[in-house]
Amino acid sequence: MKRNGLLSQLVEKKQAKANRNVAKGAANFFFFLLPFAIFLVTLPAQAAKLQFWRFDASQNRLEFTTDEGVQPKAQLIANPTRLVIDLPGVRLGRPAVTQPGNGRSIQSLRVGQFDKDTTRIVVELAPGYTIDPNQVRFRGASPQNWTVQLPTPQLTSTPTSGNPSSLPPIGSTNPGTAIGATQVQSIQPTPDGFFIRTSGGQPQIRVQRTGDRRQTLVDLYGASISPSLSSRDFLVNRNGVSRVQVTQLQSSPSVVRLTLLMSSPSSGDWQASASGSNGIVLLPQSGTATNPGTSQPLPSTALATVRSVELDEGSRQLLIRSDRPIRYTSGWDRASGAYRITIPSAQLARSVQGPRLTASSPLLQVRLRQETPNTVAILVLPAAGTQIGDINQPSQQLLALQLQRSSLFPVPPSSGSVPGSSIPVPPATNVPPISLPRVPNGKVVVVIDPGHGGPDPGAVGVGGLQEKEIVMDIGRQVAAALEQQGVQAVLTRTTNNVDVDLEPRVSLAERINATLFVSIHANSISLSRPDINGLETYYYQSGAGLAKSIHNSVLQGTGIQDRGVRTARFYVLRKTSMPSVLVEVGFVTGRDDASKLSTSAYRKQMADSIARGILQYIR
Q: What's the CA gap between 78 and 81, in Å, rounded?
A: 4
Residue 534, classed as helix, strand or coil, is coil
d(CA 547, CA 613): 9
CB-CB contact of 374 with 191 (8 Å): yes
Give the angle subtended at the CA of 253 by the CAs of 248 and 259, to the nearest 5°. Answer: 30
Which among 119, 27, 133 has a CA at the least distance from the CA of 81? 133
Q: What is the largest CA-CA distance in the chain?
A: 93
For 269, phi and psi rounded to 5 degrees?
-80, 165
How many residues appear in the chain?
A: 619
Helix (H) or strand (E) holding 339: strand 338-344
- Please count the other Cβ atoms lying within 10 Å of the Cβ belonging to residue 94: 11
Q: Would you say 211 and 76 are in contact if contact means Cβ atoms under 8 Å apart?
A: yes
Q: How far apart are the first and last CA of the chain?
A: 47
Chain CA centroid to CA 428, Å: 33
Nearest to 47 by CA among 115, 118, 112, 96: 118
Question: Given 3-state DSSP classes, what are the helix, strand and coil percentages for the chain, each rounded to the nearest 5?
Answer: 15, 40, 45
DSSP 468-489: HHHHHHHHHHHHHHHHHTT-EE
Q: Could you count the other beta carbons within 10 Å of the beta carbon of residue 358?
A: 7
**Residues 498 and 563: beta-carbon distance below 8 Å:** no
Using alpha carbons, select from 337, 318, 314 the residue that is nearest to residue 328. 318
- Active-site residue list: 584
Q: Hey, what amino acid is at 288?
A: T
Query: Is 206 within 8 Å of 256 (Cβ atoms)?
Result: no
Residue of 272, 261, 214 lying closest to 77 (CA atoms): 214
CA nearest to 619, candidates 509, 545, 518, 513: 545
Cis peptide before 35 (omega within 30 of 0): no
DSSP three-state, residue 75: strand
Residues 112, 117, 118, 119, CA torsion sign: positive
- For residue 252, give Cα distances in angstroms to 79, 113, 167, 172: 15, 12, 14, 6
Closest CA to 220 of 185, 191, 190: 185
Look up residue 442 and give its DSSP letter.
S
Neighbours of 38 (CB within 10 A): 16
Reported as type and span, the H/E element at residue 392 is strand 386-395
CA contacts within 13 A on the Cβ side of 96 = 17
| Three-state SS at 321 | strand
Going from the C-alpha of 330 to that of each of 246, 314, 355, 490, 537, the distances in angstroms are 24, 23, 19, 21, 37
